[in-house]
Amino acid sequence: MRQVAVIGIGQTRVEENWDLSLKELAGEAVIHAMNDAGVSGFDSIFIGNMMSGSANHQQHLGPLIADWVGMRFSEAYRTEAACSSGASAFRTALMAVASNEVDVAVAVGVEKMTDSPGSEITAELATAADREWEGDHGVSFVALNALIMQRYMFEYGWEHHHFAQFSINAHANAESNPNARFRKAITQQVFEKSTMIADPINVMDSSPMGDGAAAVVLVPLDKIHQNNNKKFVKIIASAVATDTISIHNRLDPLWLKAAESAAMKAYDQAAILPQEIDLFELHDAFTIMAALSLEANGFAERGQGPRLALDGDIKLTGRIPISTMGGLKARGHPVGATGMYQIVEVVQQLRGDSGGCQVKDAHIGMTQNIGGSGSNIISHIFSI
């Protein structure tokens, strides 16, 4: 396999973006990424998106977006893996370049969720669960996570307020990220008093939906020198694993086995230990997912994820900084775009371009995008 690098990034601010259509959002991120990379075109573009068919009555995003950014006739199609759709587009672009099929590929994640009523979006998000075993019973996605969190607290003796630091850290970091949806710090009290959604998950445990797009440009590593591009970041691992969608169908619903599997493969590919990761953009759709992801990736013992938050290990200056630009919680979670935001943010960090969010001396960064409640895991490791 030929080595591949990211030479350009672009993103829009996550918000309720009523004045931009889905293709305009995606186009803005793609054009930013192309300008940043200094390329005027590409061979292929892969679109990560979950719900445009229902939320925007528009499928077939490939040619729509390729045409919109002036690249009619290029290769273009969509990839979908629920909330890990973004990283699936990135992985497809990586394989396209690594296979020698193409030389310049773009991956873009885009989602436009705020044009539809919240009830419709909640129903659409539930299509990421198993329809026959979960969806048909009316279980929403937050309810599924609440079941996991209830059991986790019971098994390991945690109380709800112990999860506050995941949210507090994310919001504190988002203050310095101009692309974050909520650029406002919160306190322990705000966390504890926020509105309950599905016990024990309250608003401050949960990531907000939003509209947004993030994109990168990928090229073969051995073609970079001749372009004299100084800002490239290498992809040193790309690993994927799935699990059964239904939580009740897992042997251990409190352990993200697919996340562990993808992480171990990724460490192996990169030939590094977890301790060498300088920052970790995990999938904090809910605080419980942040805890489980830290454990599955080898940063905490089983059942001890919240300890890292309580001890300050997840802060920018901590042992394993997470949600460094706000995470899903405060940057926002436009579902199909999230995996691409994670990657764009790690590239920003490794370049040293993260301003007030900057992790000092960041050389190796990891992303982990999760689809479903741990049923589709796409992990990447990057280095400068």
User: What is the rounded distance in angstroms from the CA atom of residue 2 to the CA atom of residue 103?
Assistant: 11
| Active-site residue, from 83, 162, 357, 380 | 83
Kind and range of the H or E run holding 107: strand 105-112
User: What is the rounded distance in angstroms from the CA atom of residue 267 to the CA atom of residue 297?
Assistant: 9
Residue located via tokens 């994310």:
170
| Active-site residue, from 162, 171, 333, 380 | 333
Q: To the nearest whole angstrom, how small is the minimum distance from the Cβ of residue 372 to a copy of itself?
A: 6
| Cα angle, residue 336 at apex, residues 146 and 340 outer, rounded to 5° | 110
List 82, 174, 263, 346, residue binding a copy of itself (CB under 8 A): 82
> What are 226's two structure tokens?
């001749």
List 11, 17, 92, 202, residue binding a copy of itself (CB under 8 A): 92
Q: Which is nearer to a copy of itself, 80 or 284 (CB)?
A: 80
CB 353: neighbour CB atoms within 10 A?
A: 12
Q: How far is CA 358 from the centre of its chain?
A: 18
**Does the annotation mark 83 as catalytic?**
yes
Q: To the nearest whole angstrom, how small is the minimum distance from the Cβ of residue 258 to a copy of itself?
A: 6
CB 225: neighbour CB atoms within 10 A?
A: 9
Q: Nearest CA to 14 among 185, 166, 207?
A: 207
Q: To the nearest whole angstrom, how small is the minimum distance from the Cβ of residue 88 to a copy of itself?
A: 4
8 Å CB contact between 382 and 234: yes
75 lines the binding site for a copy of itself (CB under 8 A): yes
CB 168: neighbour CB atoms within 10 A?
A: 22
80 lines the binding site for a copy of itself (CB under 8 A): yes
32 lines the binding site for a copy of itself (CB under 8 A): no
Residues 184-223 touching a copy of itself, rule: CB under 8 A, are none
229 lines the binding site for a copy of itself (CB under 8 A): no
Catalytic positions:
83, 333
Which residues contact a copy of itself (rule: CB under 8 A)?
A: 1, 21, 44, 50-51, 53-54, 56-64, 66-67, 72-82, 84-85, 88, 92, 94-96, 98-101, 124, 127-132, 135, 238, 240-245, 249, 257-258, 261, 371-372, 375-376
